[in-house]
Amino acid sequence: MTSAQDKLFRLIRPALFRFDPEAAHRLALLALKLGIFRGDHTPDDPILQTRLWDLDFANPIGLAAGFDKGAAITDRMLALGFGFVEAGTVTPQPQPGNPVVRLFRLTPDEALINRLGFNSDGIDAFTKNLDRRTARLGIVGANVGKNRDTEDAAADYILGLKAVWDKANYLVINVSSPNTPGLRTLQRKDAMTALLRRAQEALAGVSDGMSPPPLLVKVGPDLSDEEIADIAEVAKALSVDGLIVGNTTVSRPDGLTAKDRDQTGGLSGKPLFPLATECLSKMFAGTGGQIPIIGCGGVASGGDAYKKIRAGASLVQLYSAFIFQGPSMIPRVKRDLAACLKRDGFDSVSAAVGADHSNIN
């Protein structure tokens, strides 16, 4: 990202931040869709290349779900330099989500609190946007959820998975948002086992002999040690393709200073980093490094990404930091991550995965 692009964001940010956060987000999506920010064409350092699930990632830095809920600008975000983009969370039927106001910007803390509640235009609009992708270059994931009032959660997830299985490079079941009543109970051992079995059977049926895309589960950072152990056991027993750790937190870490710090909802951004990374580390240990993990939560620098990788992440996602730092952060994160790897003598991202777990590696 050129210095001119950096200056452009610094010029635009104060104006955006005068708007309600949700309105500002809509304006940002429009600006990105119109191509106001040019793509980053600087080649990625070869040390950042990594291969996972038979997919070749130019770099391990991805955009987390939640930014592009409707899959409207996946190619634009890939052009900014992300190694992969995850769209969603999308629900089968359109739903408005929770009442506004429901998104809060904690600027002094570089954090967000949201209680959006899976606001979604529905799976039909989502798939149409994925179909509009021209060359389908770059890796795109599809993150699916359930409608708020659906009693048979698995049925909703299966509807979503069947609709997108041949339009995305990987699929994600989101069972960890704190803003849909009862959703996080699907992280419990028996419930997750039943859900994943039905999802895997559905994908095997719809793919008609072809290999379906990798199926991942997104879990939260507020898990107890027992819950982490249960999820790790289920993931190994059912040969889950991967986990995403974690989602937003309902806890409020010490030191928050913004006036909206006590709003109800899930907290994301810098203050989430220690909690999410500790959960990631425990999940890597619990799975014995056998299940690939995408580390998410609080990443704001190349050093943060490196810590996630050493804790056990094969790939890393960010979102909130992009809101506060803008597109110029992406090449900076990649450059600094490459420097961290070289400094410590690693010749690839995969060589550093789980480096903090000497008993596993």
* Percent of the chain as helix, strand, coil, to the nearest 5: 40, 15, 45
Q: Which amino acid is at 325?
A: Q
Query: Can 251 be counted among the known catalytic residues?
Result: no
Report CA-CA distances (Å) from 259 to 247, 251, 310: 23, 16, 34
The three state secondary structure string of 47-62 is: HHCEEECCEEECCCEE
Identity at 109, one-letter amino acid code: D
Catalytic hit among 3, 120, 176, 177: 177
CB 314 within 8 A of CB 52: yes
Pairwise CA distance, residues 183 & 162, whole Å: 20
Six-digit token string for 245: 């750790």
Residue pair 33/71 in contact (Cβ under 8 Å)? The answer is no
CB 330 within 8 A of CB 280: no
Question: Active-site positions?
Answer: 177
